[in-house]
Amino acid sequence: MTDPVRGDVDEVPDGPEYDLDFRDDPGRYRSTSDERGVFKIEPYKSELLPLWSISDRESAAGAADAIHERYRAYRDAEDFVGMDMARKYLQMGWTRAMRYAKYPGGQKYETGEDGERVERDPQEWYDEEKREIARIYRDHLDRVRDDPEYERLKAAHRERYGD
């Protein structure tokens, strides 16, 4: 079987949430450049998801600040899994806001005449507020990506636990 977080393993956690505490067992975590795990990796999901928002500029700015602050706390604790999950929440804020900025209702796809799924043409810019929200999240995301401590702890995690 293949665990979407770790890769090939003998036992894969099942159910909508992993029955696993990744803070207690960081070796089970595998970093990916995308947003996989944001709704499954505990206890980080429970710590970060309540902070996340793209509903309006004010709440998004507060959310991005709060998530970045949580990132710094994870960094101070040398908790790479937490750092990477915070990065994923910042990335998710950017990508989701960009989708709403470009597509009415955030709907990238529509149903075609034959019932097939057809990608809509993006609009430059459909929703200016969502575009600004995307910029807010992207600014925080870039600072995390440029953090040498993130890279150091990522390399240490891979060295200790493998890819």
Phi, psi of 2, rounded to the nearest 5 degrees:
-120, 125
pLDDT in tens, 86-139: 999 999 999 889 887 876 766 666 677 788 876 666 567 667 788 899 999 999
Q: Is residue 10 pLDDT above 60, yes or no?
A: no
Q: How far apart are CA 55 and CA 63, in angstroms?
A: 10
pLDDT in tens, 27-74: 989 888 888 888 899 999 999 999 999 989 999 999 999 999 999 999
- Relative to beta strand 2-3, strand 7-8 is antiparallel
Q: Left if phi > 0, otherwise alpha if psi is -120 to 50, otherwise beta: which for 38?
A: alpha
Domain ranges of the chain: 2-161
* DSSP secondary structure letter of residue 120: P
Secondary structure of 82-113 in the HEC alphabet?
A: HHHHHHHHHHHHHHHHHHHHHCHHHCCEEECC
pTM of the entire predicted model: 0.79
